[in-house]
Each structure stands twice: as C-alpha cells, then as structure tokens.
Amino acid sequence: MQKEEYLSWLSKYTDAEACASAQEDLSYFIRVNTLKTSVENYLDWTGLELEPTLLPYAFKVISPPEGGLGNTLDFATGCIHTQALSSMLPPHILGPSREDTLLDICAAPGSKTTQCAALMQNRGAILANDSNRGRISALSDNLERLGAINASTSNRNGAIFAHPHKFSKALADVPCSSLGSNPGAFEHWNLNFSKSISPLQFSILRSAFDSLQEGGTLVYSTCTYAEEENEKPVARLLSENPRARLEKIEGIPNTHPGISDYGSEFRNAARVYPHEFGSEGFFLAKIKKEG
Amino acid sequence: MESEPEKFTQYVLERFGIPIPDWVKIEGKSNLRMMSSELQNFQTTTPKGIPAANMNGVFPKPSTSFLQLFGNLATKNVIELEKEDALKFATRENLQTLQNAETGYVILKYKGATLGCGFYKEGKIENFFPKQRMITLK
C-alpha cells in the first residue's frame, strides 16, 4: 500500500502522521532479568545510561552502545533482554505469579515467556508453544540465556491446540500484520491481509481460552492497528462464549480504549500508539473465563 | 548407588559451596536439566527446563545457565575478573590469572555478576563460554 493511502486508513484510529513519524524513530528498551540480578544491583553494575519507565524492571536506553545492546556483558550474562516497552505490557497486565500454570500459545522468540518466568520467580510452570518449528530454537536459546527453568517448549498448531491440563493463565500474542512494530510493514500490507488472518487469530484465541480453567485469565495481543485483527476476534469470542468477560486494563497511561463499535465492553481493552506511548503500537485485551 | 543428579548436587556443593535450592529439581543421566518443582510435576512430553550440567567428563561440567543462576551462592573456586578480562572471556579467549583456585572448573565473575565457567589449571583458564552467546570486540 502507498504511504498516502495507508495514512488515510490509519487516520480513522489516530493522528496518522504523528503515529507513523514516531514509529520511524522508536527508542530502545531493556528489561532487567530479575531471575539473575536485582534491578538495584544491575543499575550499580551496568555502564549503560538508562531512564526509568512505568515498569520498575524496564528502562529506556539513552544512548545504545556502538556495537549494539546484544554485544554487551549485560546481554551475555543474561542480566538484560532487549524488548520494546509495549511488548512488555501483555505479561505485565496478565500478572502471573508463582502459583500459576501458564500457556504461552505463540511463544517464540520468548521475550514475553521469559518476562512471565521472571514475574513467576522461576516457579510454577509455563508451556511455551509455537507452531513454527524453525523458531523453537530461538525460543530455547532465550530460555537458556535468561535462565527460565519453569518452562517447557512445545511445537503444536495454536489454532487447534488442546492439552489435558487446564491453565490458570494464558498469553495469546498472535501472528499479525505488525503495522505497529515494523515501520515499513504497510508497504506489503492491504486490508485484505488483515481480513484473511483474522480467522486464524480467532482460532488461536479460542484455543487459548478453551485451555483455561474456570476463573482463569488470558491476555490477547497484537502489534497492529487493524480492528479486523484486534477487536473483531475478541468480539467473536465474547459472542460465542457467555463465560468470557473483558476485564478492564488499568494503570497504563497514554493508551486508548478499544473501538466501541464492537460493544461498550471494549472500553476495557487498550490501544497503544507510538506517538503517545513512546514505544511500538499494540492492542491488548484481558479476558476472564468465569466459572 | 548415587544417581547422576545426586552426584551433581553433591559436586557443586563441595566444589563451589552452592546449595541447590529445594525447589530446583535436576533430572537426566549424562546431560542433566534443571526445572522448577512445579514444572517437574507438570504433564508434558517435551523436555522440561534448561541444561544444568554435562556428566560425561572426568568432572561434572556445570552449564553456563546453571552458574549464571546460582553462581551468586558460590563461596569457593570463584575468580573475579577485571573488565578487560571479562570482555575477553565473553569473546571466548582463554585467560591467565594470578588468583588461586583448585584445579578443575571455576566460576568467573565480573563485579559480582557470573559470566560463566572456565577450567583452571596452573594459572591458566580454559574458556567454556557458549559460542552462541559470545560477543565481538571492535
């Protein structure tokens, strides 16, 4: 799609010019891996110049080192992981604890999985699934480097995923058009792509929801703006499952509610835009399975 | 007869003074893996946790992941490096040191943070930092 046409489409959601411009110049963020160090010790230890964020373990990197963040002792020791601040929101909102069993249904390369492991203090159990066999090695490498010992990987199709265990928490960070994370993605995108991937996103969401125990919670997320990939799959889940309820996402500043055309309950969802939040574009919905 | 996980648990206690926490479970025969006790009881057909040690050599070889997680509990056979040597270690260079240790595997640290594992003998440290995590210096 041509940029002009894309901006015209995006303007139905937000200030398209500001959004696209911010996306081309996004900051780098790191997550301190609290499985290996404390935030306090790490800040004493590192030579990086950092700025705090809304998450106590996440920092904006003021001036990334010349060789890249992946080429530092900080990274090699597994004390940090490079991860967009927006990408840290799904685990933060889900808030898993050491008592949980968690399904991460689209886990590779493992940024959110390892963040969940840290929030769970390496206790409980995580099933880190990804349907793409080629990405399992990247997932395993990150689990090892970051020291997540409460996770097991699996390589099943998320759209038809079934497991004998019923999980207390689930993450469904589904494949998407990446318009919020990749500034050039619009060039290879059109609305038909979003319409065509929407049924797959719904199927993955449904599998994750069906894998939840009663009273369990899941977070559905994408890094894109199209409602066909965001509100639409969630609305279908809500309409087909009377036990599914959207829970309010609170405490994340500079975000917007979901689109109300899909129902007033979408005021509980969150849309994240780069020019307002300062990191990648995201969509987040927190869904509870009532008993 | 002692199982391999029991041998490894005893080895890291004697060699490094590391008491493996009760909730960390070690499983396997020659290639040991470590996992949370809750994951150990979790029903799955895929490998659980991450590598903890290789038991094939004369001495058990703890994984870098194991040492980076539990190296802070070590009380002996720890060598603290200066920044220059720490960077060299992360590039997988072998090192020399004036610090004393018993011959065998040692834990290498920089400003208290564990870098990984080396093999110490007569002032020389053979580098066992994983290739996939190495850094490059300009």
Residue B100, pLDDT > 90, answer no
pLDDT at A30: 98
Q: How is residue B59 written in tokens?
A: 């001495």
Dist CA A168 CA B124 (whole Å): 50
Please choose, from the candidates A259, A262, A269, A274, the residue with its C-alpha nearest in 3D space to the C-alpha of residue A219.
A269
Q: How is residue B57 written in tokens?
A: 């050599």
Dist CA A103 CA B36 (whole Å): 16
Residues A145, B133: C-beta atoms closer than 8 Å: yes
Q: How is residue A46 written in tokens?
A: 């590192």
* CA-angle at A103, arms to A83 and A179, nearest 5°: 40
Contacts of B111 in chain A (CB under 8 A): 45
Cβ-proximal residues to A9 (8 Å cutoff; 6+ apart), any chain: A1, A191
Residues A73, B138: C-beta atoms closer than 8 Å: no
Q: Do residues B115 and B69 make contact, with C-beta atoms less than 8 angstroms apart?
A: no
Q: Do residues B106 and B119 make contact, with C-beta atoms less than 8 angstroms apart?
A: yes
Determine the residue of chain A that is closest to B88 in CA distance: A73
H/E stretch holding B36: strand B31-36
* DSSP β-bridge partners for residue B96: B124
Q: In which residue are the tokens 């793409």 written?
A: A132
Which residue type does A199 have?
P
Residue B119, pLDDT > 90, answer yes
The β-bridge relationship of strands B113-121 and B124-127 is: antiparallel
Question: Which of A35, A45, A67 comes nearest B69 by C-beta?
Answer: A35
- Give CA torsion, residues A115, A124, A251, A227, to 10 deg: 70
Size of interface A-B (CB pairs under 8 A): 103
For residue B58, the distance in angstroms to the closest alpha carbon of chain A comes to 24
Cβ-proximal residues to A30 (8 Å cutoff; 6+ apart), any chain: A48, A50, A58, A59, A61, A69, A74, A80, A81, A82, A83
Task: Give me the domains of chain A, ranges plus CATH numbers.
Answer: 3-15+92-289 (3.40.50.150), 27-83 (3.30.70.1170)
Per-residue pLDDT of chain A in tens (291 residues, 90 and over written 9): 999 999 999 999 999 999 999 999 999 999 999 999 999 999 999 999 999 999 999 999 999 999 999 999 999 999 999 999 999 999 999 999 999 999 999 999 999 999 999 999 999 999 999 999 999 999 999 999 999 999 999 999 999 999 999 999 999 999 999 999 999 999 999 999 999 999 999 999 999 999 999 999 999 999 999 999 999 999 999 999 999 999 999 999 999 999 999 999 999 999 999 999 999 999 999 999 998
DSSP string, A28-97: EEEEE-TTTS-HHHHHHH--S-EEE-SSTTEEEESS--TT-GGGSHHHHTTSEEE--TGGGHHHHHH---
pLDDT at A182: 94
**Catalytic entry in A79, A116, A176, A223:** A223
Cβ-proximal residues to A176 (8 Å cutoff; 6+ apart), any chain: A197, A201, A222, A223, A224, A229
Which residue type does B28 have?
G
Contacts of B71 in chain A (CB under 8 A): none
Determine the residue of chain B that is closest to A151 in CA distance: B49
pLDDT at A42: 97
Query: Where residue B62 falls among pLDDT bands split at 50, 70, 90?
Result: very high
For residue A46, the distance in angstroms to the closest alpha carbon of chain B comes to 10
Cβ-proximal residues to A173 (8 Å cutoff; 6+ apart), any chain: A90, A104, A106, A112, A219, A221, A222
Q: How is residue B77 written in tokens?
A: 């056979």
The β-bridge relationship of strands B78-81 and B104-110 is: parallel
**Domain ranges, ordered by start, for chain B:** 4-72, 77-133
Query: Where residue B43 falls among pLDDT bands split at 50, 70, 90?
Result: confident
Dist CA B53 CA B62 (whole Å): 4
Burial (CB < 10 A; 0-12, 13-18, 19+), residue B82, is exposed
Residue B138, pLDDT > 80, answer no
The β-bridge relationship of strands B50-54 and B31-36 is: antiparallel
Question: Which of B24, B111, B136 comes nearest A45 by C-beta?
Answer: B111
Contacts of A82 in chain B (CB under 8 A): none
The ipTM of this complex is: 0.95
For domain B77-133, give the fold.
Answer: 2.30.130
**Number of neighbouring beta carbons within 10 Å of residue A239:** 11
Residue A79 falls in the annotated catalytic set: no
Of the residues A43, A140, A142, A149, the best mutation for testing chain B's interface (the one with the most B CB atoms within 10 Å of its CB) is A149
Q: Give residue A221's Cα distance to chain centre.
A: 5
Cβ-proximal residues to B40 (8 Å cutoff; 6+ apart), any chain: B25, B27, B48
pLDDT at B13: 98
